[in-house]
Amino acid sequence: MESPKKNTVRQGLLSVLRRLKNSPEQEVRILLLGLDNAGKITILKQLASEDISHIMPTQGFNIKSVQSQGFKLNVWDIGGQRKIRPYWRNYFENTDLLIYVIDSSDRKRFDETELAELLDEEKLNMVPLLIFANKQDMMMAATAAEITESLNLHTIRDRIWQIQSCSALTTEGVQVHTHTYLLYKLYLSIPLP
């Protein structure tokens, strides 16, 4: 017998799939969050194939639309400064994928991530989670496994999630479209109830 929690997760994923399959353009609304200086805007610019030589911190939000793998990815990058974080919840509605960027080289800020609180938000219930363990090109960067342990990610049971080591500067591991595609391929493998 399947647990009620697992069945609820499956129903949530199926509703996302049904909405995507009924959409002619297969639009995916991606919410890009993380603390200030984690590398969100660099990842967003890399995704949009834009120049990253002049990066300014996000004041408020940025929106980019990118076509990839048959999906139109609408990425909402919301600033991560402490004074902006309370406004994150204004952007939760209709999110198909949550991307959370962590500065792997700044271990002292791991406790500040607010990721656990985000995952408790009702409007983000069962939304798939992709975590970028960014700045892996830095000498003292924590590994994805260390971040998983530090943030107790292994306890996440109410959604599909993945953590990916990356460097936004070198683009290693930053193929958002590939990860999004793989997450949706995983959804497709879930049998219908």
Residue 48's closest CA among 56, 57, 37, 40?
40
| CA pair distance 97, 80, nearest whole angstrom | 18
- Entry pTM: 0.80
**Per-residue pLDDT tens digits for 167-189:** 988 888 776 555 565 555 555 55
pLDDT of residue 27: 79
Cβ atoms of residues 72 and 26 within 8 Å: yes
The residues that are catalytic are: 81
Query: Which domains, from first to last, does the chain contain?
Result: 4-188 (3.40.50.300)
- 3 has pLDDT over 60: no
Point out the annotated binding site for Mg(2+).
58
**Cα-only R_g, the chain:** 16
Other Cβ atoms within 10 Å of 28 Cβ, number = 25
User: With the C-alpha atoms ordered 161, 77, 92, 35, is the resulting torsion angle positive or negative?
Assistant: positive
How is the chain split among helix, strand and coil, in percent rounded to 5?
35, 20, 40
Confidence of residue 190 (pLDDT cuts 50, 70, 90): very low
Diameter of the chain by CA atoms? 54
| CA pair distance 71, 168, nearest whole angstrom | 22
**Per-residue pLDDT tens digits for 22-39:** 555 577 889 999 999 999
Distance, CA of 136 to chain centre: 17
